[in-house]
Amino acid sequence: MSDEPIELEAALASFTEIWSPRIVARVNDSDVRIAKVEGEHVWHAHDGTDEFFLVLGGELDIALREDGSERSVRLGTGSVFVVPRGVEHRPSSPGGASILMFEPAGTLSVGDRHEAVPAHVDATRGHALTGPAGA
């Protein structure tokens, strides 16, 4: 982890992969991750933790399955949303977006329960930020 400020725009410019979060900071026992997203992620749930989303640019839709029904929320640039622990959800962004997520270190990006993971989704616990933004 860097002991210098991280400029998020430069950090986002340092990689091209979608649905492949980079860890930009740690706060106590949690990761602060950024990601570029486009298309659909996978339906999944995190049984032991909430998941915090902040949209840095673009629009992010989060479909939610709870109490036998399905609904969707749309987040624009600057919007935040927390998916409660155990709630099945599927983020998506038809036009592409950049997001920041906050979750306990080691949390798998496809949750504890998930559908088959498509090739464009990286099942990871977060990648180290490398290059000029994370040197």
Q: 97 exposed, middle or buried (CB, 10 Å; 0-12, 13-18, 19+)?
A: buried
For the segment 43-55, what is each residue's pLDDT rounded down to a tens digit? Answer: 999 999 999 999 9
Amino acid at 27: V
Could you tell me the two tokens for 44?
Answer: 């999944």
Cα–Cα dist 90/134, whole Å: 29
CATH topology of domain 8-119: Jelly Rolls (2.60.120)
Q: Residue 130 pLDDT more than 60?
A: yes
Domain boundaries, the chain: 8-119
Per-residue model confidence (pLDDT) at position 91? 98
Cα–Cα dist 104/97, whole Å: 22
For the segment 56-102, what is each residue's pLDDT rounded down to a tens digit? Answer: 999 999 999 999 999 999 999 999 999 999 999 999 999 999 999 99
Counts for the chain of helices (H) and strands (E), in that order: 1, 10
Could you tell me the two tokens for 84?
Answer: 């409660």
- The strand pair at 22-27 and 127-128 is best described as parallel
- The strand pair at 30-40 and 88-104 is best described as antiparallel
φ, ψ for residue 8, nearest 5 deg: -65, -35
**pTM (predicted TM-score):** 0.93
Per-residue model confidence (pLDDT) at position 17? 97
For the segment 106-117, what is each residue's pLDDT rounded down to a tens digit? Answer: 999 999 989 899
